[in-house]
Structure 1
Amino acid sequence: MGKPTGFLEYNRETGRTVDPRTRLKNYNEFHLPLSEKEQKCQGARCMDCGVPFCQSGVILNGMVSGCPLNNLIPEWNDLVYSGTWQQAYNRLKKTNSFPEFTARVCPAPCEAACTCGLNGDPVAIKENEYAIIERAYASGIAGPRPPKIRTGKKVAVIGSGPAGLAAADQLNKRGHSVTVLEREDRAGGLLMYGIPNMKLEKHVIDRKVEIMKAEGIEFITGADVGKNHKAKDLLKEYDRIILACGASNPRDLNVPGRDAQGIYFAVDFLKSTTKSLLNSDLQDNEYISAKGKHVIVIGGGDTGNDCVGTSLRHGCASVTQLEMMPKLPETRTEDNSWPEWPKVLKTDYGQEEAIAVFGKDPRVYQTTVKEFIKDKSGKLVKAVLMSLEPKKDEKTGRVSMEPVAGSEKEVPADLVLIAAGFLGAQNYVADAFGVKLNGRSNVETEEGRYKTNVDKVFVAGDMHRGQSLVVWAIREGREVAKEVDISLMGYTNLV
């Protein structure tokens, strides 16, 4: 603990952001980092707690508290304060395969569990992480480090999202020959086509993938296993297979008029924009456009917010974000005490931008769609919304959101984006390998393990645990790598 009184002397500071109206003119990241001097002060705020809740990664009341990767946060906070950047990078990389991703897109459960946050503001851990990894790239210490010895074992990783990339990275370090197969035209999976540029510019992914290639990992894009690549051929060619295909079955909305033209899943909307942006700077018009349209986003989570921000950049006429649940409180309630994840109201970048453009928060709480109305040509023109209210089942104690009689109202709608989450793995990949699925449509394994019912086949990430955070996917990728390594070598030295 380099500065014992740092948390008393310095206030929490984070990098500034570009004004909402200015940043809406492009699709660039809009967070401006602190200076080195300012960043050192943020490192000094860490108390080096006797019990570092920030790195615990435990589940409290069904929610994660602290970092699921068990990052050595107090150690590299102190190294940031002292300006020992290379050592900070070494400690950060010991537990986190991709800090360049998590420093941008992770919701920072570490900060929610920070002891400073019990009575004040938490340490700016995420900002410190960003500073460490970007300085590492700038100084050249984050470059390729290929293994010196190869084991002769071959592993295929199906899917190049955060879980697949983490597994590939770890197994390659061990000396195994790793091939990553990705069905899209670019590597990155969810990182590439599920998260908009504003949160994660794609050159950041490409930068890391190029390093992984230089370290000896082979990437094959356009490889749709179960369709243009046969599972039986992969099982013959490789010693082990890791399925990391994500939870890519979007949850649908079953209401009258669902077949109207102008209703899309959020993932298709976001993917089309990113792909067109990368291919032609949106000049090819090969994307689902919100320009001049009245947009309704169904879903109040991160993906829904991404749809709001993207629609605004397209130039939508209006945007409304529907949230089934009640509005969260602005501060913790008594039954949501530290260090649990804080169930409090969060206004994200897309909502901030909507407020700047339209003068109001786009979110409408306790509301859903009852019906979609289309014209004679089948085109969406309106949506019928209805209010919901919480009702408790006296027998089970469970609370459900029920329709409020007579609350229906019509609103204009040209484009509807369904951002209601995902239900599990796509069946054709699981069927191709013959792996079993559980009741939640995820690939089944023993509790805490990654081996499937099929010999040589393992699973990790959202395909295994269901829709979750990038940081959990990275953890699962690292964990499955250890299990695969043990199965190949009889032991592992991976951490």
Structure 2
Amino acid sequence: MGELGGFKKYQRKQEINTAVKNRLTNFKEFTTPLATKEQQKQGSRCMDCGIPFCHSGCPLGNYIPDFNDMVHKGEWHKALEILHATNNFPEFTGRLCPAPCEKACVLGIIDKPVSIENIEKYIVEKGFENGWIEPRLPKYRTGKTVAVVGSGPAGLAAAQQLNRAGHSVTVFERADKIGGLLRYGIPNFKLEKEIIDRRVAILEAEGITFITNAHVGVNVAVDELKEFDAVVLCGGATKARSLPIAGSDAKGVYQAMEFLTKQTKALFDKELEKEIINAKGKDIIVIGGGDTGSDCIGTSNRHGAKSVTNFEIMPKPPKARSAKTPWPFWPLELKTSTSHEEGCDRNWLINTKEFIKNEKGELTALKTVEVEWKIIPGERPQLIEKEETEKIWSCDLVFLALGFTGPEKTLPEQLGLELDFRTNIKASTYSYETNVPGIFVAGDMRRGQSLIVWAISEGRQAAHHVDAYLMGSSSLPLKDANDLLSA
């Protein structure tokens, strides 16, 4: 695959980021793509490694060496067909995926890995630019109906696959726009919403029905789901983890999703600007070191925050891959996002003990303590507080980016669905079917908070089993490429 010895000739290159001072003035995406010839060189770095591990690292099982080879040859349309064979929405993953495929790239053992994610994004953008991505209507209709609850990546993937199988699919979304977490949970500077809209337009043209402002179990009765021959629940893991400590009710302590959602909505409705949680001129503390915390940092800096501080309760990861996570596994190493680069004081092994408020109930500071983790073989790690390390941090706003504990309980309770020990909806790991016949579940609602590639993968896999449930068998992909090889 690629050019013989290309990995020796060409260095890894990626999109160019706009200078920090310029990109902080707006909420637009801030990357400039490489020239086409340079992208072909990046595809040429794929090294014909014999046994590629890249698509074993990818939950979707993308045929990575194959589309890299087409990019190397300038066969962009063929590259797009190969990419779309396993991934319904590469324009999303090409922007948002942490790229486990690159961490499993064989070239990464001796050099910087192939820039797979960037190549993926360029292929699909070239496809839209040239009009190659068009609605694919099913050849016939089966007469079967399917309800998909939730329009995030899992729901959209399941809907498109089931529609292609000929079923009539209706997607229920509780928000006012389609996209789930992609729409309001991901800042515009990482994913401009026009990217979602153009794909949704294609799905609508393919025959999928979308109903917004439809919160099943709240303003849409669960009994309406009985009208469908099958149901796929893809509502995500939206129950945010709280921090139940003294002062948590202070004015100025917010969940990250509230902060991010209000900001994104205000970009498209000027009337909502007065409702944003404005970080301008304020001292901000973000608790949580993951992607959502990073998004809060980037958003705060775009508001013009006076300072941004980030707390993480875990130890600081090493700068290079740890020996505990050798290739081709996902590495334990320090991740510095573009938002971190824009300005942030990062702190590790910090535990928040109390939010301090004034007589008006307004947040003024918080109290922390330094911690360490005690590792005992065969037992859960213990969090140990260090003596005499308490510290008071002045702040005006705190954003809690602590992850999610699972799906909200409205639907499972009303539908009589069993939950697993992690409070996710319990389903067969093979068929994705719940304890209620005809009701399936996919994505974060089943597996817990996870990656966008896992959501798309699970949506595709669930669609296969729903199709088989309705028709007795299915020609939709069984699972991902790795499962097909072992089936």
TM-score (normalizing by structure 2) = 0.96
> Which residue number in structure 2 is paired with residue 62 of structure 1?
none
Relative to structure 1, is the Cα distance of residues 168 and 189 closer, same or farther in structure 2, using a 3 angstrom cutoff?
A: same
1:96 and 2:78 aligned = no
2:367 aligns with one of 370, 384, 392: 384
Paired residues for 1:278-317 under 5 Å? 278-280=268-270, 284-317=273-306
Provide, for residues 364-383 of structure 1, a one-character-per-residue CA deviation record: whole Å limited to 9, x for no partner.
11002111111111111110
The alignment status of 1:353 with 2:342, answered yes or no, reads yes
SS of corresponding position for 2:404: coil
Aligned to 1:419: 401
Which residue of 1 is the match for residue 4 of structure 2? 4
- State how far apart, in whole Å, the 2-side matches of 1:337 and 1:7 are: 22
| Structure 1 letter corresponding to 2:442 | A
Aligned positions of 1:261-272 closer than 5 A: 261-272=251-262
Question: Does the 8 Å contact 1:325/1:401 carry over to 2?
Answer: no
Query: Residue 341 in 1 paired to residue 349 in 2?
Result: no
What is the CA RMSD across the aligned residues, in angstroms?
Answer: 1.1
Aligned match of 1:259 in 249, 263, 267? Answer: 249
Shift of 1:49: 2.2
Q: Are the aligned partners of 1:324 and 1:401 in contact in 2 as well (CA < 8 Å)? A: no
Measure, in 1, the Cα distance between the counterparts of 2:345 and 2:2: 44
**3-state SS of 1:180 partner:** strand
- Aligned residue identity for 2:31: H
- 1:157 match: secondary structure: strand
Shift of 1:344: 0.8
Q: Which amino acid aligns with 1:47?
A: M
Alignment of 1:200 with 2:191, yes or no, is yes
User: Does 2:357 align with 1:374?
Assistant: yes
Q: Which amino acid counterpart does residue 29 of structure 1 have in structure 2?
A: E
Indicate the SS of the match to 1:95.
coil
Could you tell me whether the CA contact under 8 Å between 2:107 and 2:113 is conserved in 1?
A: yes
Query: CA offset at residue 479 of structure 1?
Result: 0.4
For residues 15 and 68 of structure 1, the distance between their equivalents in structure 2, rounded to whole angstroms, comes to 24
| SS of structure 2 residue aligned to 1:382 | strand
* Aligned partners of 2:55 and 2:61 also within 8 Å: yes
Give CA deviations for 1:48-80 in whole Å, capped at 9, x if unaligned.
Answer: 322110001xxxxxxxxx110000000000000
Q: Is the contact made by 1:80 and 1:88 (CA closer than 8 Å) also made in structure 2?
A: yes
Q: Deviations over 1:318-374 (max 9, x none)?
A: 1111000111111123232111112111110111001xxxxxx42111002111111
Matched, 1:224 2:215: yes
Contact 2:141 2:167 in 1 (8 A): yes
Give the aligned partner of residue 47 of structure 1.
47
Q: How many residues align?
A: 477
Partner of residue 460, structure 2: 478
**Mapping 1:394-473, distance limit 5 Å:** 396-473=378-455
Instruction: Find the aligned partners of 2:220 and 2:320 in 1 and give their Cα distance.
Output: 51
SS in 2 for 1:160: coil
Q: Spell out, residue by residue over 1:438-475, the C-alpha distance to the aligned partner (whole angstroms, 9 max, x if none).
A: 11110001233310011211100000000000000000
| Counterpart AA for 1:478 | R
- Structure 2: unaligned runs, 5 residues or longer: 478-487
Counterparts of 1:494 and 1:122, CA distance in 2 = 32
Q: Does 1:322 align with 2:304?
A: no
Rounded to whole Å, the distance in 2 between the matches of 1:2 and 1:120 is: 16
Residue type of the partner of 1:267?
A: M
The question of whether the paired residues in 1 share the 8 Å contact of 2:2 and 2:48 is answered with no
> 1:397: how far off?
4.4
| TM-score normalised to structure 1 length | 0.95
Is the 2:27–2:189 Cα contact (8 Å) retained in structure 1? yes
Shift in alpha-carbon separation, 1:117–1:2, aligned structure 2, 3 A: closer
Instruction: For 2:434, give the aligned amino acid.
Output: T
Q: Which residue of 1 is the match for residue 179 of structure 2?
A: 188
Q: Deviation at 1:2?
A: 4.2
1:134-145 to 2 correspondence within 5 Å? 134-145=125-136
In the alignment, the residues of structure 1 paired with residue 48 and residue 302 of structure 2 have an alpha-carbon distance, to the nearest angstrom, of 42
Q: Tell me what 2:118 maps to.
A: 127
Amino acid of the residue matched to residue 333 of structure 1? S
Contact between 1:298 and 1:368, CA under 8 Å: does it hold in 2?
A: no
Q: Which runs of 4+ in 1 moved over 3 A?
A: none
The amino acid of 1:27's aligned partner reads F
Distance of 1:368 and 1:398 partners within structure 2: 18
Question: What letter corresponds to residue 366 of structure 2 in structure 1?
Answer: A
Aligned to 1:362: 345
CA contact (8 A) 2:324 2:332 kept: no
Separation in 1, partners of 2:273, 2:289: 30
How far the C-alpha of 1:23 sits from its partner, in A, is 0.3
Match of 1:82 in 2: 73
Letter in 1 for 2:364: V
Q: Displacement, 1:283?
A: 6.4
